Copies of this chain bind each other. A is one copy, B any other.
Amino acid sequence: MANRIGHILTLTSFGESHGPYIGAVLDGLPAGIVIDEIFIQKELDRRKPGQSTFTTSRKEDDLFQIVSGVFEGRSTGTPITILIPNTQQKPADYDHLKDVYRPGHADFVYDKKYGRRDYRGGGRSSARITAAWVAAGAIAKTFLDQHYNIQIQSIVSSIHKIGMDAPFDFKGWDHAENNAVRCPDEKIAAQMIQAIEKAKAEGDSLGGVISTRVSNCPVGFGEPVFDKLNADIAKAMFSINAVKGVEFGLGFGSSRLKGSENNDTADKQTNNDGGITAGISNGKSIEFNVAFKPVSSISIEQEALNTMNQIETLSIKGRHDSCILPRAVPIIEVMTALVLADHALLNLKNAKNVNKMTER
């Protein structure tokens, strides 16, 4: 509980931004699955800081070590543990934050809930910990690819007020990795970069929306009624820092349509339901949007509460992203992969599989 997600394929997350390691335990993966360390590193590199001028200048190499559960390049069926050292902690950077609660951050709620907190850089609430999720989730991605041919791709579809009109209709998602904001539409991408650079210059930050598509998911993933596939994906998404909204298919847009317009009927080529009906994958692409608020850490002066219940003026120093979305793209992909892999395994016990497994 609390730091574990998944039903039979589970991710246990641990670590703080300024301890010696962050890490993850991936439990429940079948034995014999290929563990592709080069691919894991590649996914970590997509998340790591310092990929562009507007991400944090904290330079973490994010070199991981698998310390259990793998033998001769394949999973053994035992828990896979991943360690990522924190090499670039500069706790001194955070001394000025010891007694003040940064607006929009976990500082206040952690202090009130726990009666104490590790104030160094967010501690447990830092998005730093998602690096280990990425490593573990990369394994889930490989599993889905090799055993189901399932592909998961996320793109940045809007930043602040600059957005693609209909991201799921856009052809050419593969271009997303060609630019610093991971938006496949090059023109929009250029505007986004400009907007972020401007916000950075002002000491401000920007939010946006990430769109995700899962291709080749077979019919039948998702367990009604309380482990629906969309419910579990949504829970995973809201586990990611700064996420404020999740919608599937047309989402909030479908609330403004009539049934006759919205229904994905047999003759229409629509996917308004976003590939999930009644909580179960329906064989179409799974499509959803995730909204991020702008990063809370800004160097513009703000009024903040301090631990003595007074208001003080705060300008947050240190190494922060002006826009987190490009780096959040791989995080969303791998968390989606973890949910899907978990449901793939849960679905092994559906009727036709059990018959196939147990036929004598």
Contacts and interface: CB of A to CB of B under 8 A. Distances in A.
Contacts of A232: 235
Interface in A1-48: 1-5, 7-8, 10-16, 19-23, 25, 27-28, 30-32
Interface in A239-297: 239, 241, 244-252, 254-268, 272-274, 277-283, 289, 291-297
A360 interface: yes
Contacts of A298: 259-260, 263
A221 to B, nearest CB: 8
B116 A219 contact: no
Nearest to A209: B255
A112 B258 contact: no
How many of these chains are in the complex? 4
Nearest to A233: B238
Interface in A177-231: 199, 204-209, 219-220, 222-228, 230-231
B350 A31 contact: yes
Interface in A87-123: 103-106, 108-110, 112-118, 123
Nearest to A221: B113
Contacts of A244: 247-252, 254-255, 273-274
A69 B124 CA distance: 8
B252 A252 contact: yes
B30 A350 contact: yes
B264 A103 contact: yes
A2 B246 contact: no
Contact of A112 (B199, B219, B255): B219
Interface in A314-358: 344-358
A50 to B, nearest CB: 20
A109 B20 CA distance: 37
A81 B15 contact: yes
B260 A76 contact: no
A68 interface: yes
Interface stretch (A54-62, A166-174, A301-309): A301-309
B245 A248 contact: yes
Contacts of A293: 250, 254-255, 257, 262, 272-273
B79 A13 contact: yes
> What range describes how many residues of A lie at the interface?
35 or more
A65 interface: yes
Nearest to A112: B219
A263 B302 contact: yes
B304 A266 contact: yes
B358 A147 contact: yes
A348 B8 CA distance: 12
B224 A125 contact: yes
A289 B148 CA distance: 35
Among A65, A83, A281, max chain B CB count under 10 A is at A83
A265 B304 contact: yes
Contacts of A304: 265-266
22 contacts: A2-B28, A14-B25, A15-B68, A15-B81, A32-B355, A71-B123, A77-B113, A103-B265, A104-B264, A112-B219, A113-B347, A115-B351, A116-B351, A205-B258, A205-B259, A207-B262, A231-B239, A245-B252, A259-B296, A260-B302, A266-B311, A348-B353
